[in-house]
Amino acid sequence: NALLIRNGLPPIAQLGLGGIVPPDGIVPHCLAERYAVLAAAPFMSVVICTRDRTAMLSQNLPAVLALDYPHFEVIVVNNAPSTADTEQWLHAHYANDSRVRYVREDRPGLSWASNAGLRHARGEIVAFTDDDVLPSRHWLTAVACGFQAAANVGCVTGYTMPAELETQAQYWFEQFGGFNKGRGFARMCFNLAEHRPVNNPLYPYIPGIFGAGANMAFRTDLLRRLGGFDVALGGGTPARGGGDIDAFFRVVMSGATLVYEPSALLMHYHRRHFADLQRQLDSYGTAFGAFLMKTILVRPSRVLDLVQRIPAAIPYVFSPRSPRNIHKTHDYPSDLTRGELWGMVQGTRAYFTSYRHAFAVSVQHPRSETVQA
């Protein structure tokens, strides 16, 4: 009912089989906003980074191309593939589709691949998603609405919901916070001025509250000015992740506004097995520790700022009643929590290893892109 009221509709006592039918003459605010955006839809580039997952891409790419949005291109970035399967599949099915371009990036790592997509993006907005998600048909329209939601919007993130909840590991990932960290279904703005969360003592150093890398979009010119994604962070590096949260942090610190737009909806297939979930949360901890180390190295004065926040941060991290932990049930495995926290400690050292690794990769592959229009 809160959502109905926000859209100018009357509340309901029960939901019938026919769904919600607006009264005559009333256009919900969300539809009016959608129509206005589509009347002058900005051209967008969608970047899908993949590696040796042709089967997943064969489900993801058709869903992206079926989006109900008039002006967009898709850039598939094949990152250091071990076979030619993905390239051959794309050529067989999309060689004559002018919306699809193929880029091969031989430098291994998600940030290298994302930056390759950014370099070739023609849209004024560049959206990034993964090969293991399925977008709702209005995904890009909702992203465009997010960029119109406030002044100086530099980034929009969306709601990433589970495509299935069939195993205990998938339920535990949602208890951990999933990809949405309790953001809910109301649009939210984040910046350094009037839009600051009141219940997060580590803001903006907990950029996981902003969104997830599977569902994010940026003003192309802003992301390029910020230098793209840090190649010492991200999947496929010793840091094990963090490229997305680092980009969110730098957008907000630049003075721009980041908008969480829940109607930009994707469905993600969570890991089904406990061992895979454990590795995932370990990597989240490592990535966060590496991100914090990077932010301190960039500006050492942030150490004092972070130290001053420790007294408030301790209950936020450890209290079962904190927004971070409130959804975890009594049977949530302590091994997952310990692995995440130990990963944070390991991540401070991992950033240095990852930085050296990125330099070695750049020396080994100084020119690494193959592009097919």
Give the max Cα distance, the chain.
Answer: 65
Sign of the dihedral through C-alpha 341, 343, 348, 349: positive
In degrees and rounded to multiples of 5, residue 119 shows phi and psi of -60, -35
Is it the case that residue 365 has pLDDT exceeding 90?
A: no
pLDDT at 84 over 90: yes
User: Are 157 and 258 contacting, i.e. CB atoms less than 8 angstroms apart?
Assistant: yes
For residue 179, give Cα distances in angstroms to 57, 108, 110: 20, 24, 18
CATH value of 41-372 in 3.90.550.10, 3.40.50.2300, 3.40.50.980, 3.30.230.10: 3.90.550.10
* Distance (Å, whole) CA 25 – CA 139: 26
- The distance of Cα 20 from the centroid of its chain, to the nearest Å, equals 30
Exposure pattern of 169-179 as b/e (b: 16+ CB <10 Å)? bbbbbebbbbb
- Average pLDDT over the chain reads 95
| pTM, full prediction | 0.95
pLDDT in tens, 113-142: 999 999 999 999 999 999 999 999 999 999
Beta bridge partners of 128: 47, 216
Partners of 78 in beta bridges = 50, 104
At 272, the pLDDT band (50, 70, 90 cuts) reads very high
Number of Cβ within a 10 Å radius of residue 64: 24
CB atoms within 10 A of CB 144: 28
Tokens of 355: 């930085």
- Whether the ω angle into residue 70 lies within 30 degrees of 0, i.e. cis, is no
Q: Phi and psi of 99, rounded to 5°?
A: -80, -20
| CA neighbours closer than 13 Å in the CB half-sphere of residue 20 | 16
Q: Spell out the residues 6+ positions from residue 364 whose beta carbon is closer than 8 angstroms to its own.
A: none
Segment 318-346, tens digit of pLDDT: 899 888 899 899 999 999 999 999 999 99
As a whole number of angstroms, the distance between CA 285 and CA 124 comes to 33
Domain boundaries, the chain: 41-372
Rounded CA-CA distance 289/284 in Å is 9
